[in-house]
Amino acid sequence: MSQAAAIHPVLDPVLAPPFPQAALPVLRNPQLRKNVAHAIDVIQAKRARLVAEKTDWQELRAAASAIRTHALENLGAYLEEFETRCTAAGGTVHWAADADEARRIVLDLLREENASDVIKIKTMTSAEIQLNPHLEAAGVNVFETDLAEIILQLGEEEPSHIVVPALHINRSQVREIFARRMGLKDLSDDPKALTAAARTYLRQKFLSIPTAISGANFLIAETGGVSVVESEGNGRMCLTLPRTMITLAGIEKVLPRFKDLEVMLQVLARSATGERMNPYTSLWTGVTPGDGPQRFHVILLDNGRSSILSKPKQRQTLKCIRCAACMNACPVYRQTGGHAYGSVYPGPIGAILTPQLMEMHHAQSLPFASSLCGACYEVCPVKINIPEVLLELRSQVVNQERKDFGRFVDPMYMGLRIANLLFSRAWLFHTSQLLGRIGLGFFTRKDGWIHSLPSVGSKWTQTRDLRGLPKQTFHGWWAARGPQPSPMPSREAK
Amino acid sequence: MRASLFITCYNDTLYPETGRAVVSLLERLGVQLEFHPKQTCCGQMHANTGFRGEAFSQAKRLVRLYQDTETVVIPSSSCVAMIRDQYPGLIEELGNDQLRREFAALLPRVYELSEFLVDRLGVEDVGAYFPHRVTYHASCHGVRALHLGERPYRLLAKVRGLDLAALPNTDRCCGFGGTFSVKNAEVSSAMLAVKLQDVVSTGAEFCTALDNSCLMHLGGAMHRQYAGMKTIHMAQILASTEAMPAEGFL
């Protein structure tokens, strides 16, 4: 099962194989690794250039972090303020406790509209609740309008990144998908030709489908407004042409004041796409007669977020503004791309967000899918200390293991428990060094190196040698050296 | 000046030559070194693998052990990062006021080796001689946790005979990550392959760092692949002189 699941990635944390297993097919796929590394190297370089030109970048980060922290600490009040303002402006606010409820609200709204077709702006929140397959199963035809999402939808692929979801697919692969699904045999892989094909495909949807679904980058409590930022303008089409707009947003997306956008839009564009400003920033508040959708619904989705909010050490996870800078900077993500994370939220933020959304019942391998190098924290525009949260989640996973009988046969678990005992007394530690040297001696070759180890050690020696343990430890050498005279500069010539 | 050497558990066990080099280097610079015989481990491996309870006991033990020392020198950037970044949270959680005070007093006296040389002793030219082409792996904890910045480069620049080769993508992780290297062995190896490519591309004979854990990872791959390079802790380069070359320690 796991191999099939890994080849056709399952982005459902409940069903996905553990990260180390899910990463294997990707590591063996040169095309995919090249596509991912190339794409994120390009974005990273652009980001680095544009961040460097901001002399007050660290102050901006601090301001963005403070805004998000304040919003979360007063989330209940700001959500109620948003609801009041949005309703006053002619919108309807719905509250969804979980994915199931959110999907039911969307379906009910679509039935009220007699909608058999719906167009969508790119929204990862809808992917989180697996909205598309549920709508399709209920007989609703869903049409993605974001270029990357079209590629994924037509190619029956899964997103591997939250800002550029099709970054694992290169343009010759896009050409193949479009040619096959749009019936364009002579399509070239020239980006202009590809976008023209998408444009033709989309225009007809925009003009004929009166119902749209969007996500939200920000909800503004002060005005009841919603903001979506994007690069292509397809979102703007969805926000202006349809009769009915349904916006799905996580409850954490709220900002207290309109002026907070001044900070957030600066850090978001630079962090996400390496642009000074994103090409399309849409802001709308309720409904305006004669202008844009006349029916407007906002679904505020909890789906595990309140539970995260209630835990002080983990709360910072919800500061995330989905810029993806952390995954672009992550050396693990650079090798694996997004599918290995088994969730629509990959990379470092996914490694902390997904298991928490699953209330630590699934995706327990994800907190360990990091070398703790700290690159994610360094680039995060809202200063989420991702390594700190990773460690907190790791300790929760280990605390689950402590109650599991399987721990007694897990060499890693037992090794660390025993090591703890050995480190508690110097004489125990020194005895274990001696025994370790004798034990490893059986595996040490004449060249003084270990080339192959059993059990958990084989995980090291499958690609790396290990130098055999030296005859004398440092503390042994120190003790043998005995007391020294006070150091004199002349010692070096001895 | 007096300083106490915390050698770290893996240097003690796997890389005693690094410890001997630190002794040779610091005594040459007039430092009176002490070595607490009861020292074991800082708890980093436990803390980073999620064994927080176990990390508590290591942290408590280390703080108590070094409460009377003037200065602690540690030739491992990740162990210093453990003390600076993770101990405050652990000790706060333990909620023991006396321990909190002892730790607060100890923290400013804990130095990574290059910090100790540049910031505490105020030396950059340590009188070393190492006639080889060397590239420096900055290590994640050195770059992002300790912010060592230019210190290691300034120390290396003053080593006579040393030809320093710039390492491309120098702030990128080598893929070690402690237990990550076995829990996610394949991904770790993929990261290592990319890093090794950069390291080999410098044409250096030696790759150096201020952390033997990264070097164990890189060195393990170099040895496996007959890469024609070796790893060497920076302490061994800085200890090396015409009279007593680093090779003598290997």
With respect to residue B125, please indicate whether it lies within any of the assigned structural domains: no
With respect to residue B25, please indicate whether it lies within any of the assigned structural domains: yes
Shortest Cα–Cα distance, A22 to chain B (Å): 11
Shortest Cα–Cα distance, A117 to chain B (Å): 42
Token pair of B12 as six digits: 């003690």
Closest CB to A331 among B35, B51, B172: B172
Write out pLDDT tens, residues B67-90: 999 999 999 999 999 999 999 999
Cα(first)–Cα(last) distance of chain A, in Å?
67
CB proximity under 8 Å: A 455-474 to B:
456-457, 459-460, 462-467, 469-470, 472-474
Which positions in chain B touch A479 (Cβ < 8 Å)?
37
Answer with the one of B95, B120, B145 that is the final residue of a domain.
B120
Listing DSSP states for A3-45 in one string gives HHHHHS----TTTPPPHHHHHHHHHT-HHHHHHHHHHHHHHHH
With respect to residue B126, please indicate whether it lies within any of the assigned structural domains: no
- Same domain, yes or no, for B101 and B142? no
Which positions in chain A touch B141 (Cβ < 8 Å)?
374
* pLDDT value of residue A494: 36
Cβ–Cβ contact A412 with B under 8 A: yes
Shortest Cα–Cα distance, A448 to chain B (Å): 11
**Hey, how many other C-beta atoms are within 10 angstroms of the C-beta on B123?**
15
With respect to residue B35, please indicate whether it lies within any of the assigned structural domains: yes
Euclidean distance between CA atoms B197 and B215, whole angstroms: 15
Say how many domains are in chain B: 2
For residue A281, give the H/E element and its range.
strand A280-285
Write out pLDDT tens, residues B201-229: 999 999 999 999 999 999 999 999 999 99
Searching chain A, which residue's CA lies closest to the CA of residue B11? A474
Burial of residue A439 (number of CB atoms within 10 Å: 0-12, 13-18, 19+): exposed
CB distance B94 to B85 below 8 Å: no
- Same domain, yes or no, for B187 and B224? yes
Contact between chains at B140 and A373 (C-beta distance less than 8 A) = yes
Q: Sort strands B72-74 and B110-112 into parallel, antiparallel or unpaired.
A: parallel
CA–centroid distance for A384 within its chain: 13
Answer with the one of B93, B120, B147 that is the final residue of a domain.
B120
With the CA atoms of A333, A337, A339 and A342 taken in that order, what torsion angle do they form, in degrees rounded to the nearest 10?
0
- Same domain, yes or no, for B50 and B138? no
* pLDDT value of residue A489: 53
CA–centroid distance for B153 within its chain: 15
Shortest Cα–Cα distance, B52 to chain A (Å): 6
- Same domain, yes or no, for B99 and B137? no
Sheet holding A117-120, edge to edge: A92-96, A295-301, A244-250, A211-214, A117-120, A141-144
With respect to residue B128, please indicate whether it lies within any of the assigned structural domains: no
- Same domain, yes or no, for B7 and B114? yes
Write out pLDDT tens, residues B88-128: 999 999 999 999 999 999 999 999 999 999 999 999 999 99
Contact between chains at A378 and B144 (C-beta distance less than 8 A) = yes
Closest CB to B179 among A331, A412, A424: A412
CB proximity under 8 Å: A 359-378 to B:
367-375, 377-378
CB distance B5 to B35 below 8 Å: yes
Euclidean distance between CA atoms B1 and B120, whole angstroms: 10
CA–centroid distance for A55 within its chain: 28
How does pLDDT run along chain A (494 residues), one tens digit per residue? 333 333 456 799 999 999 999 999 999 999 999 999 999 999 999 999 999 999 999 999 999 999 999 999 999 999 999 999 999 999 999 999 999 999 999 999 999 999 999 999 999 999 999 999 999 999 999 999 999 999 999 999 999 999 999 999 999 999 999 999 999 999 999 999 999 999 999 999 999 999 999 999 999 999 999 999 999 999 999 999 999 999 999 999 999 999 999 999 999 999 999 999 999 999 999 999 999 999 999 999 999 999 999 999 999 999 999 999 999 999 999 999 999 999 999 999 999 999 999 999 999 999 999 999 999 999 999 999 999 999 999 999 999 999 999 899 999 999 999 999 999 999 999 999 999 999 999 999 999 999 999 999 999 999 999 999 999 999 999 999 988 876 555 444 33
Cβ–Cβ contact A490 with B under 8 A: no
CB distance A148 to A191 below 8 Å: no
CB distance B71 to B4 below 8 Å: yes
SS3 A121: coil
- Same domain, yes or no, for B82 and B35? yes
Angle (CA) B96-B98-B101 rounded to 5° is 110
* Residue B249 confidence class, pLDDT cut points 50, 70, 90: very low
- Same domain, yes or no, for B137 and B245? yes
- Same domain, yes or no, for B148 and B180? yes
Contact between chains at A492 and B28 (C-beta distance less than 8 A) = yes
CB distance B230 to B205 below 8 Å: yes
Shortest Cα–Cα distance, B210 to chain A (Å): 15
CB distance A215 to A127 below 8 Å: no
Contact between chains at A391 and B20 (C-beta distance less than 8 A) = no
Q: Sort strands A141-144 and A92-96 into parallel, antiparallel or unpaired.
A: unpaired
Beta bridge mates, A118: A142
CB distance A26 to A337 below 8 Å: yes
CB distance B155 to B238 below 8 Å: yes
With respect to residue B234, please indicate whether it lies within any of the assigned structural domains: yes
* pLDDT value of residue A487: 59
Give residues with Cβ within 8 angstroms of A427, minimum separation 6: none
Cβ–Cβ contact B93 with A under 8 A: no
- Same domain, yes or no, for B141 and B199? yes
With the CA atoms of A481, A486, A487 and A491 taken in that order, what torsion angle do they form, in degrees rounded to the nearest 10?
-70
One-letter identity of residue B35:
F
CB proximity under 8 Å: B 190-229 to A:
190-192, 194, 216-217, 219-221, 223-224
Q: Which domain holds residue B170?
A: 133-249
Which positions in chain A touch B241 (Cβ < 8 Å)?
492
- Please report, for the domain that includes residue B244, its CATH number: 3.40.50
Token pair of B72 as six digits: 């602690």
Answer with the one of B120, B144, B169 that is the final residue of a domain.
B120
- Same domain, yes or no, for B113 and B30? yes
Contact between chains at A375 and B171 (C-beta distance less than 8 A) = yes
Token pair of A87 as six digits: 């309703």
One-letter identity of residue B213:
S
CA–centroid distance for A127 within its chain: 12
* pLDDT value of residue A485: 75
One-letter identity of residue B152:
P
One-letter identity of residue B153:
Y
**Between helices A386-401 and B52-65, what is the axis angle to 10°?**
110
Cβ–Cβ contact B49 with A under 8 A: yes
What domains appear along chain A, each with residue ranges and CATH number?
1-53+315-403 (1.10.1060), 63-145+210-306 (3.40.50.10420), 408-477 (no CATH)
- Same domain, yes or no, for B7 and B61? yes
* pLDDT value of residue A8: 52
Contact between chains at A464 and B224 (C-beta distance less than 8 A) = yes
Q: Sort strands A244-250 and A211-214 into parallel, antiparallel or unpaired.
A: parallel
Contact between chains at A388 and B89 (C-beta distance less than 8 A) = yes
Searching chain A, which residue's CA lies closest to the CA of residue B21? A474
Q: What are phi and psi of B131, to 5 degrees?
A: -80, 65
CB distance A70 to A206 below 8 Å: no
**Chain position carrying tokens 């907070």:** A260
- Same domain, yes or no, for B112 and B179? no
* pLDDT value of residue B194: 97
Which positions in chain A touch B175 (Cβ < 8 Å)?
331, 371
CB distance B121 to B29 below 8 Å: yes
Shortest Cα–Cα distance, A331 to chain B (Å): 6
With respect to residue B94, please indicate whether it lies within any of the assigned structural domains: yes
Which positions in chain B touch A389 (Cβ < 8 Å)?
none
Cβ–Cβ contact B41 with A under 8 A: yes
* pLDDT value of residue A9: 62
Write out pLDDT tens, residues B155-209: 999 999 999 999 999 999 999 999 999 999 999 999 999 999 999 999 999 999 9
Give the count of alpha carbons within 13 A of A109, CB side only: 25
For residue A126, give the H/E element and its range.
helix A124-128
